[in-house]
Amino acid sequence: MVYERDLNLEATELRLGLPGTVTEQSEKQKPNSNATKSNKRSLPDMNGESEVRRENSSVSSNDKKSHGQETAPPIKTQVVGWPPIRSYRKNSLQAKKLEAEAAGLFVKVSMDGAPYLRKIDLKVYKGYPELLEVLEEMFKFKVGEYSEREGYNGSEHVPTYEDKDGDWMLVGDVPWEMFINSCKRLRIMKESEARGLGCAV
């Protein structure tokens, strides 16, 4: 990837878009690749998975077009001053969007019995169902149904996390926003070890 940037192959690449529409995409990708500063990737192809997901979820009209080009309407050139939003507002919200996309909230995920850890970006997911699905995929396990009273009853593995206070909590107990703001790392515990967690008191 780094080599590609230096050679600037993108400039000479043939695409269906009009000139000027590529910039958005490459600009969006830059913050992403900066965010993944930790090059601790041991297995690039497995991380490639999460990269693709990131691309899919970043709201870029160009991304959508390149993935579904057959059905997408022709890409319109950017027009000055349209839609009519004052630059102050545009800049404020633009900054927010880029911040949200760039910052990421990367946490380590470990699973009892697995030899290596993974890292995921919590900001990418909209809620618990999505997160759990991703974890299940990543580590090849299944969680049972979550309920407030009984946690993840009936599954071999239980997703837990360490919060800002250093306590180990059950994933799913607090509202999503609160979770992503307080989660420092994830650990998928064996059910036998997880007893004692779950809803407090």
Partner 1 sequence: MITNKKPRSSDTDSNYMRDDRTEMSEDDDRSPPSDSIANGSCPTRTCTPGSGSGSGSGSSSIPEYSAPYPDRVLENVLENVLWFLTSRKDRNAASLVCRSWYRVEAMTRSDLFIGNCYAVSPERATSRFTRVRSVTLKGKPRFADFNLMPPNWGAHFAPWVSATAKAYPWLEKIHLKRMSVTDDDLALLAESFSGFKELVLVCCDGFGTSGLAAVASKCRQLKVLDLIESEVSDDEVDWIMCFPDTETCLESLIFDCVECLVDFDALERLVVRSPSLKKLRLNRFVSIGQLYRLMVRAPQLTHLGTGSFSPSEDVAQGELELDYVSAFAACKSLVCLSGFREIVPDCLPAIYPVCANLTSLNFSYANISAEQLKPIISNCHKLQTFWVLDSICDEGLQAVATTCKELRELRVFPFDPREDIEGPVSEVGLQAISEGCRKLQSILYFCQRMTNAAVIAMSKNCPDLVVFRLCIMGRQRPDHVTGEPMDEGFGAIVMNCKKLTRLAVSGLLTDTAFAYIGKYGKIVRTLSVAFAGDSDMGLKYVLEGCPRLQKLEIRDSPFGDTALLSGLHHYYNMRFLWMSACRLSHQGCQQIAQALPHLVVEVIKHEDTVHMDDYADTLYMYRSLAGRRHDVPKFVSIL
Distance from C-alpha of 49 to C-alpha of 85, rounded to nearest angstrom = 36
- Which amino acid makes up residue 11? A
Bridge partners of residue 151, in order along the sequence: 147
Distance from C-alpha of 174 to C-alpha of 176, rounded to nearest angstrom = 6
Residue 168 burial class via C-beta count within 10 angstroms: exposed 0-12, middle 13-18, buried 19 and up: middle
- Using the minimum distance from each CB to partner 1, give the nearer residue, 87 or 192: 87
Q: By CB under 8 A, name the binding residues for partner 1.
A: 59, 61, 64, 72-73, 75-76, 79-90, 92-93, 96-97, 164, 175, 177-178, 181
3-state secondary structure of 77: coil
- Using the minimum distance from each CB to partner 1, give the nearer residue, 73 or 196: 73
- Using the minimum distance from each CB to partner 1, give the nearer residue, 149 or 164: 164
> Least Å distance between CB 200 and partner 1?
19
> Least Å distance between CB 172 and partner 1?
17
- Using the minimum distance from each CB to partner 1, give the nearer residue, 33 or 94: 94
Residue 135 burial class via C-beta count within 10 angstroms: exposed 0-12, middle 13-18, buried 19 and up: buried
> Least Å distance between CB 59 and partner 1?
6
> Least Å distance between CB 170 and partner 1?
19
- Using the minimum distance from each CB to partner 1, give the nearer residue, 97 or 190: 97
> Least Å distance between CB 81 and partner 1?
3
- Using the minimum distance from each CB to partner 1, give the nearer residue, 69 or 181: 181
* Of the candidates 17, 13, 15, 14, the residue with the CA atom closest to the CA atom of residue 74: 17
Helix spans in 8-110 (H)? 9-12, 22-35, 44-57, 61-67, 87-103
Distance from C-alpha of 14 to C-alpha of 187, rounded to nearest angstrom = 44
> Least Å distance between CB 49 and partner 1?
25
